[in-house]
Amino acid sequence: MPIIALDKLTKRYPLPDNKSETFLAVDGVSLSIEKGEVFGILGPNGAGKTTTLEMLEGLNDIDGGSASIDGIDVQSHPYKVKEIIGVQLQANEYFDNLSLVELLVLFGALYNRDIDPLELLGKVNLTEKASAKPANLSGGQKQRFSIACALVNEPKVLFLDEPTTGLDPQAKRNLWDLVKELNKAGMTIVLTTHNMEEAEHLCQRIAIMDHGKIIASGTPQELILEYAPEPPAAPLHGNLEDVFLALTGHALRE
């Protein structure tokens, strides 16, 4: 049984120029994600990938269809779902006067958990920053700390929304290593990304979204062989970015 199941998931928003009419930001998405996978959702800006994650996380209402995580219906039992998921967002705001240790203890209290903040910081290689304030962290360190916060409740599923956007190459690689270690320990991870190399490096399977729909899904190698096979004049096949261009007709922008 998949740990995440979406069936004809739908989300409507008012049209910016005509509030009396709506458009489908997520248009009947059906998807299953197996336990222990790193699953990637790719798409250009406005494709509906973040909205899809927000509905799974209980941060946005579901207008149609259904979604379940570990057998729990997201719409009927949103608080039960929040107990078993971790969410790392594109941007986070913290209490500026608290240290990393103090913040983790606070987040643990919100889940009624007696946590070891140094153990969590160790998982994301931030032990030496235990007494630091979030404002004193680098971009990569802030991203890793946001993941530590998402791990407070020992989630079965971790959601990462464009986790490496804006990071330098070394910070990006460090975060990739962290994702692989968490997955190796058994955690299911769902991420959105604009980075083709990242998707190919981390994800066992991928869904590509455009205009609110899933237009292709499979392993990176399956997608490459189907949509960017070996060019006649070149010895090598295309890559995952070529797949995206072939399907959507335009490149991703960071």
Mean pLDDT of 180-202: 93
- Is 164's pLDDT higher than 80? yes
SS3 state at 199:
helix
- Is 133's pLDDT higher than 60? yes
The residue among 11 and 236 whose pLDDT is bigger is 11
The CA R_g of the chain, rounded to the nearest whole Å, is: 19
Cβ-contact 169, 16 below 8 angstroms: no
In-domain check, residue 191: yes
**Which residue, among 25, 53, 28, has the nearest Cα to 39 in the 3D structure?**
53
If pLDDT is split at 50, 70 and 90, which confidence band does 247 have? confident
If pLDDT is split at 50, 70 and 90, which confidence band does 254 have? very low
Give the lowest-confidence range in 62-76, 207-221, 237-251: 237-251
Give the lowest-confidence range in 90-104, 147-161, 175-189: 90-104
In-domain check, residue 11: yes
Number of domains making up the chain: 1
- Is 90's pLDDT higher than 70? no
Mean pLDDT of 108-126: 91
As to burial, measured by CB atoms within 10 angstroms (0-12 exposed, 13-18 middle, 19+ buried), residue 152 is: buried
What pLDDT score was predicted for residue 230?
66
In-domain check, residue 234: no
What pLDDT score was predicted for residue 74?
96
- Is 195's pLDDT higher than 90? no
Q: How many CB atoms lie within 10 A of CB 14?
A: 11
In-domain check, residue 46: yes
Can you point out the beta strands (E) in 146-246? 157-161, 188-193, 205-210, 213-218
The domain that contains 119 carries what CATH number? 3.40.50.300
**By residue range, what is the domain housing residue 77?**
4-224
In-domain check, residue 173: yes
**Which residue, among 13, 24, 9, 17, has the nearest Cα to 210 in the 3D structure?**
24
What pLDDT score was predicted for residue 12?
95
Specify the pairing of strand 4-15 against strand 18-33. Answer: antiparallel
Cβ-contact 212, 29 below 8 angstroms: yes
In-domain check, residue 48: yes
- Is 236's pLDDT higher than 90? no
What pLDDT score was predicted for residue 231?
60
Chain mean pLDDT for the chain: 89
In-domain check, residue 123: yes
> Which DSSP state fits 33?
E
Structure tokens at 209: 């979204």
In-domain check, residue 181: yes
What pLDDT score was predicted for residue 237?
64
